[in-house]
Amino acid sequence: MEFQFYKYHALGNDYIVIDPNKTKVNLSAENIRLICHRNFGVGSDGILYGPVLEEDHTFSLKILNPDGSEAEKSGNGIRMFSRYLVDANYVTQKEFTLKTLGGAVQVELLDDKGDQIRVDMGTVTFASGQIPVTGAPREVVNETMLIHNRRLAVTCLSIGNPHCVVMADEPSRETAVELGPVIETHPQFPNRINVQFLKVIDRKNIRIEIWERGAGYTLASGSSSCAAASAAYKLGLVDNEITVHMPGGIIKIDIRQDGHVFMTGPVTPVSKGVFADDFWNQIRS
């Protein structure tokens, strides 16, 4: 049987893989929203569309948010897509390159099945023009934002996609849901922004709650883990090896002296299936 979609989760952050080599689907913004809808579609935090084989024999993928927009990079998405490449026999080697809108990443499988995957997520920048954040050129570190009459200490950065890390005494889902969408769409961030609410537990552990641009509240995020750990490291609050605790579980972050950030975490297959005829008639190319 030829399946039309494959579903994975990474610490409760779930994505659907649609392989263009097997399934010809019209991924308009409307169809993306329908497929990802948890009542009217399959339901997911996004769609991973690929692989597309490049001329240099690397694979590329598109990362699509449930609101129909395209994300530059997703740490969890990259790990899930890498697991799909193993499951579908696209790769047999332990190390390979994936290309995303936010740049190329190096992937390393830590076991034969791809249950644990390590990703070189690239180099973080705090430069306002590269995130982007409006205002004078600067590193956006430990600045103050006034949101809902609250003064928030924020550090902003890009790791191929934009992040705003907010220091919080006790991060909670309620705070993320209340303040996340306001910060995401703040005029200071012309491309919108991912938001993490961060508490430092000790030099090796942090805890975060996450509001993802284009997706909303989520249980875990790879790029958010990288961003929060990098912000805490920049502020001198943690060492270079950090465990990030999220409602969905933990991710290990390793920040190297050359600025590269490595992320290690699990992937779990969930299901694979076919679209019902009526649904398929709405979304097929």
Which residues are documented as binding site? 13, 65, 75-76, 161, 194, 212-213, 222-223
User: Do residues 23 and 5 touch, judged by C-beta distance below 8 A?
Assistant: yes
- Known binding-site residues for substrate equal 13, 65, 75-76, 161, 194, 212-213, 222-223
Which residues sit opposite 158 in a β-bridge?
A: 125, 162
User: Do residues 100 and 54 touch, judged by C-beta distance below 8 A?
Assistant: no
Show the tokens assigned to 144: 């103050």
What are the phi and psi torsion angles at 56 (to 5°)? -90, 15
Show the tokens assigned to 1: 């049987």
- 149 Cβ neighbours under 8 A, 6+ residues apart: none
Show the tokens assigned to 40: 């009217």
How far apart, in whole angstroms, are the C-alpha atoms of residue 156 and residue 193? 9
How far apart, in whole angstroms, are the C-alpha atoms of residue 170 and residue 196? 12
CA distance readout (Å), 152 to 183, 186, 236: 11, 13, 18
